[in-house]
Chains A and B, each alone.
Chain A
Amino acid sequence: MTAAPQPLQPPVQPTAHASRGPARPPLDGRKAMIECRGVQKYYGDYHALRGIDLTIREGEFFSLLGPSGCGKTTLLRTIAGFEGIDGGVVLVDGRDMANVPANVRPTNMVFQSYAIFPHLTVAENVGFGLRRDPRSRAEKAAAVEDALGMVGLKGYGGRAAHALSGGQRQRVALARALILKPKVLLLDEPLSALDRKMREQMQVELIKLQRQVGITFVLVTHDQEEALVMSDRIAVMFEGEIAQLDGPEALYARPASRRVADFIGVMNFTPARIMGGGADHVTVAVPGFGTVDIPAANVSRADRGDAGPSIGFRPEAATLLPAGAEAPGRVTEGVIDEVVYYGDMTYYDVIMDGSDAYDGVPHEVRISMRNVFGREVPDVGTRVRVSWSPGSLVLFR
């Protein structure tokens, strides 16, 4: 509607992901371990992979994230060699995998169901891949014991595999795959069958294990939290395409499209009007927020089907101010419409004054606040002042 300037900068580029913690050597400059170029896959008329391009580096913890049916598992299975491709190239460690069957690829897989052989013992499961290994029986047994030790199952070798718990099966599946020292470990929703506590524990263990063995991990998951916790980089997939490929922080703070923003974590969306802009910002009018200059780096694209431009911000990007307090950035007022108490934090749904200016419908924004001992949780109907800064808003246009 208004003469808005063209996007000043293309959507966020894949950025080099900073190392997390001192133990982590930077991944920049490492060689490519997996390369997919224009990978196409059809199931009959169904176009499962629509030209996938990505490069995964040696030693990287990489996640394929997306809702069910987005093609993430199909992509993992094409890398493993369980599915052929109908176009493009898959290279592992620089070698074209076109005519390399799964049983000789330098990749190993941890299956969603773990696929533990129920008729074998734990040690027989872990040593299964060593059957064709020329080493002596004693050497193989030592290798099995090492692998079990690595996943915290030392001394479990003689147990029947079917008698293990879910978490233990997971560990056996990991040891069974890692004992072959693959160049790439592929993990297909490995934590989805575990309960929440176990899942969180295994997330941390998987990160540690990956740093210890140093090989490339490719994880498929539909759980955005899991991907954010574990990955160096994440490819978000929708309908057979990569929507964004980025590190966790960039993905969370600067989603490339509204759909990605909606899939990763919680984000508030409010309709906006574009008023103009400059070299480094776009000026928008947002009901309830007033006129805001959005930094060019925070401009992303809207998706097909979106009604028009909108701004988004994370619940933790705004704060409810105590009475009389001053704050940097901007302050607007509103009324608390709903309070959802979670123990360690509380979600407040706030209706900002004037948020119904465009469409006559008041728009709520969800704001999260960490609970502080002794501070009262404001009740529904309380008038509050909300502090926020233009830099934490993302514009989808």
Chain B
Amino acid sequence: MNRLQGSGLRVYTLIYLAFLYAPIVLLPIFAFNNATVIAFPLQGFTTNWFVQMAENPTLRQALLNSLLIAVSASVLATCLGIFAARASTRFDFRGKGPVMGLIMLPLVLPEIIVAVSLLVVLLAAGVGLSIFTVILGHTLICMPYAVAILSTAFSSLDKSLEEAAYDLGETKWSAFRLVILPLVMPGIVSALLMSFTISLDEFIIAFFLAGNQPTLPTYIFSQLRFPKSIPMIMALGTLLVLMSIVLLTLAEHFRRRGVARTGQTDTGGFI
């Protein structure tokens, strides 16, 4: 058996996990601490920071902006990703390799390069900076993730399933809707959640393309200059962590249900 006891690997594992998660554990601790300075010893329990957060109009605006951007970008990226993944797994066409390569390229391009080039192009084209331009940028960087997840989902499908539906009298579109779509639905949900998460905490592109509109990450960054608003940021962070956990649990739940329903073997998934 693989026993880690006494091998030093156990210590390494503990340190590793502490490094990963200790900062996140600190978030809720200081979010409820009755002091403006982030330091031990803890002072007393308070929910003031949450109240302050809820009453802050700029933060509310930033949150709304971020949600609007994340929802739009993830839906756009997933829809476009469905087209690309379907085309690349089902059909052979000229230039398929280069086209798919270009779609996946933002995955490895430095984000700051993407952000600066987008900024230059948008300004040259006379497009004003707004939430809309951030949505475009986020769609671009979410696409590779959506395509990667969806390609896996599409390519695991037996081609004859679609042919069988067509043979049984359905049209090409209804065969897709009745057979392919339900079977790739777990992949679609995964792609949506992944894109949503990426967009929600994306900073660089939002910083360059949002104009004077705040998003959550740019707002948090701007507040770090004011020590007295840091506890409120801690409270905000606590909520975001909580939301992430809920989202990931949901995503995993849907994925497992999809796997069970179609009788495939569970290969682990993303989460």
A-to-B contact residues, CB < 8 Å:
80, 82, 102-104, 107-109, 111-113, 115, 117-119, 128-129, 131-132, 160-163, 176-177, 180
A160 to B160, CA, bound (A): 19
The number of chain B residues with a CB under 8 A from chain A is 20
Q: Is the CB of B182 within 8 A of A176?
A: no
Given contacts A113-B158, A117-B179, A118-B262, contact A180 B163 (CB under 8 A): no
Classify the interface of chain A: helix, strand, loop or mixed. Answer: mixed
B182: which A residues are within 8 A, CB to CB?
A: 119
Q: Please report the C-alpha to C-alpha distance between residue A177 and residue B261 in the assembled complex, in whole angstroms.
A: 23
- In the complex, 19 of the A-B residue pairs with CB atoms within 8 angstroms, ordered by the A residue number, are A102-B166, A102-B167, A103-B166, A103-B170, A103-B171, A107-B167, A111-B164, A115-B163, A118-B264, A119-B182, A119-B183, A128-B178, A129-B168, A129-B169, A131-B169, A160-B261, A161-B263, A162-B261, A177-B167
Q: How far is the CA of A279 from the CA of B164 in the complex (A)?
A: 55
Would A113 and B160 count as touching, CB distance under 8 A? yes
Contact of A118 among B171, B178, B263 (CB under 8 A): B263
Residues of A contacting B107 with CB < 8 Å?
A: none
B169 touches A180 (CB 8 A): yes
Q: Are B169 and A162 in contact, with the CB atoms below 8 A? A: no
For chain B, what secondary structure do more than half of its interface residues adopt (helix, strand, loop), or is it mixed? Answer: helix
Residue from A103, A112, A160 in contact with B169 in the complex, judged by beta carbons closer than 8 Å:
A103
Name B residues whose Cβ lies closer than 8 Å to a Cβ of A. Answer: 158, 160-161, 163-171, 178-179, 182-183, 261-264
Given contacts A103-B168, A109-B167, A160-B261, 20 further A-B contacts (CB under 8 A): A102-B166, A103-B166, A112-B160, A113-B158, A113-B160, A115-B160, A117-B161, A118-B261, A118-B264, A119-B183, A128-B165, A131-B169, A160-B263, A161-B263, A162-B263, A162-B264, A163-B263, A176-B164, A177-B168, A180-B168
Q: How far is the CA of A169 from the CA of B123 in the complex (A)?
A: 60
Residues of A within 8 A of B179 (CB): 117
The CB with the most chain B CB atoms within 10 A, among A103, A108, A129, A176, is that of A103
Q: What residues on B are CB-neighbors of A180 within 8 Å? A: 168-169
Nearest chain B CB to A393 CB, angstrom units: 45
Chain A residues closer than 8 Å to B264, beta-carbon distance: 118, 162
How far is it, in angstroms, between the C-alpha of A342 and the C-alpha of B260 when the chains are bound? 45
- The contact of A176 among B160, B166, B168, by CB within 8 Å, is B168
CA distance A161 to B183 in the complex (A): 13
| Docked pose: A107 CA to B167 CA in angstroms | 8
Complex: chain B residue closest to A163, CB-CB: B263
